[in-house]
Amino acid sequence: MATFYVTHHLQPDNPHLFVIDVQQVVKPKGEFNTSFWQNSRGESYWEIIIYTSGMDSEGSVLGPYWIDVYDTEQSINDLVNNKVEEICGEIDWSRSHLIEDSLLEQADLYAPIVSWQYPSAGQINVPIDSRISIRLRELLPAKGIDISTLTFKVGGFSVSPDITGNPYDYTISYRPHFSK
């Protein structure tokens, strides 16, 4: 995931936050011996999602915007640059002078998501001293995750995990310690 700011040359003191997320999507495979059965893993493709703190002239949230990368002659850089240019054309650059004000004006429409975890739900034969990890993400438009409100429990007991990342993308992990 890449995070960057874009400013308009006529509004240089009014940057807007952009987040670009590139992820591989695996389509569910079809039923065995049907025309939808491609292979045992399912068909996959790359998807690019772009989020922004920018709003339109009516104060409405813009995005998220999806770019599905199937077969294309364009590079990913070209695809992203073209979409960011298109999004910039929709932003009302005079709306807010601070990103924080812009994000506070917007409704936080999406709850944070767990994008992966280890061990996965129902996983068996995991070593008892394995690191327990989750990745929490808050997708723009959003105010970010208030990590101070998070309670991390293992076996019903609160623990102090290692936390890395930023308010839009945190990795939280904990390695159990056992005395012998």
Farthest CA pair distance, the chain: 65
Tens of pLDDT, residue by residue over 24-51, are 766 555 555 544 444 555 566 777 888 8
| 3-class secondary structure, 74 | coil
Q: Are residues 120 and 71 in the same domain?
A: no
Q: Are residues 88 and 125 in the same domain?
A: no
> For residue 179, is it within any domain?
no
Please, what is the average pLDDT of the chain? 77
Tens of pLDDT, residue by residue over 119-169, are 888 888 888 888 888 988 887 666 788 888 888 888 888 889 999 887 878
Q: Are residues 90 and 118 in the same domain?
A: no
Residue that wins the pLDDT comparison between 31 and 172: 172
> For residue 30, is it within any domain?
yes
Residues 84-99 have a mean pLDDT of 78
- List helix spans (H) across 14-119: 76-90, 99-105
Q: Are residues 9 and 81 in the same domain?
A: yes
Of the pLDDT bands very low, low, confident and very high (cuts 50, 70, 90), residue 66 is confident
Q: Are residues 63 and 127 in the same domain?
A: no
Report the number of distinct structural domains present in the chain.
2
pTM: 0.52
> For residue 180, is it within any domain?
no
In which domain, by residue range, is 33 found? 2-105
Residue 170 has which token pair?
């945190």
pLDDT of residue 85: 92
Q: Are residues 82 and 117 in the same domain?
A: no
Report yes or no: 161 and 172 within 8 Å, Cβ to Cβ.
yes
Residues 173 and 40: their CA atoms lie apart, in Å, by: 32
Q: Are residues 31 and 76 in the same domain?
A: yes
Q: Are residues 93 and 117 in the same domain?
A: no
| 3-class secondary structure, 21 | strand
Of the pLDDT bands very low, low, confident and very high (cuts 50, 70, 90), residue 97 is very low
Residue from 40, 44, 21, 18 nearest 31 by CA: 40
**What percentage of the chain has pLDDT greater than the value 90?**
7
Q: Cis peptide leading into 64, omega within 30 of 0?
A: yes
pLDDT of residue 26: 61
Q: Are residues 42 and 122 in the same domain?
A: no
Q: Are residues 8 and 93 in the same domain?
A: yes
> For residue 139, is it within any domain?
yes
Report yes or no: 139 and 154 within 8 Å, Cβ to Cβ.
no
